[in-house]
Structure 1
Amino acid sequence: MSDPSAERLKAAVLALYQARPVEGPPGDDGQRSVWHLSTQGAELLSFVDPEGRVQRQELTLLDEHCVWSSGVGLRTGRVEQDGAARAETSVVHPDAQPVPARLLRAALALEHYQGDDRYIQHIQRVLALARQGLVLSGGSGAVPAAPTAPAPVPSTPPASNTAAPAATPQGASAEAPPPRPLQLPAVDPVMLRRQKTEGLTMLIVLGLALLFSVFLLYWLL
């Protein structure tokens, strides 16, 4: 007999795929929200900047929660609901550290998605990279901080694929090394005096040629 929670999770994910995204108005900073809500306990809330880049995503699958933020990475949590599926009546209790089991379950739940919704594709890719990192680390709990920065996501998803997310290792400094000062070549004083002498000689020659031209013109007239 199949696990009831697995059946509920499958139904929730399928309902999420079929949910039509609801786009909110831009805020004061130009950022807007895109909300996918299913009636089976799955929800995806995305926040997009004015250029169309996804900055944050919150994924809820039944009683588990995953949050991805650009430059920060993935976090997990547990959702407590008062007998309702809507987000307004639920409370998220974040985990002190990302729980690998929650990330793996979310990645497995979304791995078979083949639709063209850019927001679902984005969180699917983020979770797949996190799963790959967990597998390579032997499931030690190390979670990639943030995938490479995604390309802008249009309001009406086109047929083309988005770019992959921007890899910033967790805890690593984002500051670039200061630029080196520009090194100018040393000036040779002998060469400088020679150039001045040659310039003065050229001026004298041009002056004499001008005087000779004036004298020749006067003589011809």
Structure 2
Amino acid sequence: MSDPSSERVKAAVLALYQARPVEGPPGDDGQRSVWHLSAQGAELLSFVDPEGRVKRQELTLLDEHCVWTSGVGLRTGRVEQDGASRADTSVVHPDAQPVPARLLRAALALEHYQGEDRYILHIQRVLALARQGLVLAGGASTAPASSSSGPSAPSPSAPAGPLSTPHASAPSVRPPPLAPAPVIDPEMLHRQKTEGLTMLIVLGLGFVLSVGLLFWLL
């Protein structure tokens, strides 16, 4: 499709806005189709369930095709016409994967619609959300490539601890000198023994005298 600002696209979109929707009879599943068709190469086919909810929409702008299905999302494709007019047979060649450029062109073509047709508003919102998602994804993909160009050399990490740490020479602490053993005077030892023996003899004599006095009193 040409650039959305081209005169062909503008004319096709304007004709789509002015097209009178044609409703088809309900099918076996209760769904009905609503068809917006213009002679300028734009077409919108919507499928609505019995409750009025849009379940599927197919948008054709010149030679590009976008399909939205509830629960599936958006798909894109290319339209090949076998006849000179839109009424003749046309073949849609779906893309293996949605082409972002086609989605963006369709979103830009419909972004200025300010009417009240609920079906055009629905596909406009769907494409606007898709465009927003593509813009966000594009912004995320513009991260500096240097961070993912290759494995960076590992920065040297500080060792957890030295393999062997020499022990610092601690100042030698000498134990305090022991007090010299007291010198025992032999003479003093002999005197203490003599005094002890004398006291023992005195106590013995006192005991004997006490016993004798006791017997005398009895």
Which residue of structure 2 aligns with residue 116 of structure 1?
116
Q: C-alpha displacement at 1:6, in angstroms?
A: 1.6
Which residue of structure 1 aligns with residue 89 of structure 2?
89
| Aligned-partner SS, 1:29 | coil
Cα pair distance change 1:12/1:71, threshold 3 Å: same
Structure 1: which 5+ residue stretches go unaligned? 142-221
| Aligned-partner SS, 2:138 | coil
CA contact under 8 A between 2:3 and 2:9: conserved in structure 1?
no
| Aligned-partner SS, 1:109 | helix
CA contact under 8 A between 1:134 and 1:140: conserved in structure 2?
no
- Alignment of 1:21 with 2:21, yes or no, is yes
Q: In 2, Cα distance between the equivalents of 1:107 and 1:4?
A: 9
TM-score when normalising by structure 2: 0.61
CA contact under 8 A between 1:41 and 1:85: conserved in structure 2?
no
Q: C-alpha displacement at 1:82, in angstroms?
A: 2.0
Q: C-alpha displacement at 1:87, in angstroms?
A: 5.5
Which residue of structure 2 aligns with residue 195 of structure 1?
none
- Alignment of 1:8 with 2:8, yes or no, is yes
Which structure ranks higher in relative contact order (CA pairs < 8 Å, sequence separation ≥ 6)? 1
- Alignment of 1:45 with 2:45, yes or no, is yes
- Percent of counterpart pairs with the same letter? 91
Which residue of structure 1 aligns with residue 195 of structure 2?
none
| Aligned-partner SS, 1:137 | helix
Residue by residue over 1:44-63, the C-alpha shift from the partner in whole angstroms, topping out at 9 and shown as x without a partner, is 00000000000000000000
TM-score when normalising by structure 1: 0.60
Q: C-alpha displacement at 1:7, in angstroms?
A: 1.1
Aligned residues: 140
Larger Rg over CA atoms: 2
* Aligned AA (1:59): L
Which residue of structure 1 aligns with residue 196 of structure 2?
none
Which residue of structure 2 aligns with residue 33 of structure 1?
33
Q: In 1, Cα distance between the equivalents of 2:80 and 2:44?
A: 17
Cα pair distance change 1:140/1:85, threshold 3 Å: farther
Q: In 2, Cα distance between the equivalents of 1:11 and 1:138?
A: 30
Q: C-alpha displacement at 1:84, in angstroms?
A: 3.0
Q: In 1, Cα distance between the equivalents of 2:3 and 2:23?
A: 35
Q: In 1, Cα distance between the equivalents of 2:67 and 2:3?
A: 26
Residue by residue over 1:151-176, the C-alpha shift from the partner in whole angstroms, topping out at 9 and shown as x without a partner, is xxxxxxxxxxxxxxxxxxxxxxxxxx
**What is the root-mean-square deviation of aligned Cα atoms in Å?**
2.2
Cα pair distance change 1:132/1:4, threshold 3 Å: closer
| Aligned-partner SS, 1:138 | helix
Q: In 1, Cα distance between the equivalents of 2:3 and 2:129?
A: 27
Cα pair distance change 1:113/1:87, threshold 3 Å: same
Q: In 1, Cα distance between the equivalents of 2:4 and 2:56?
A: 31
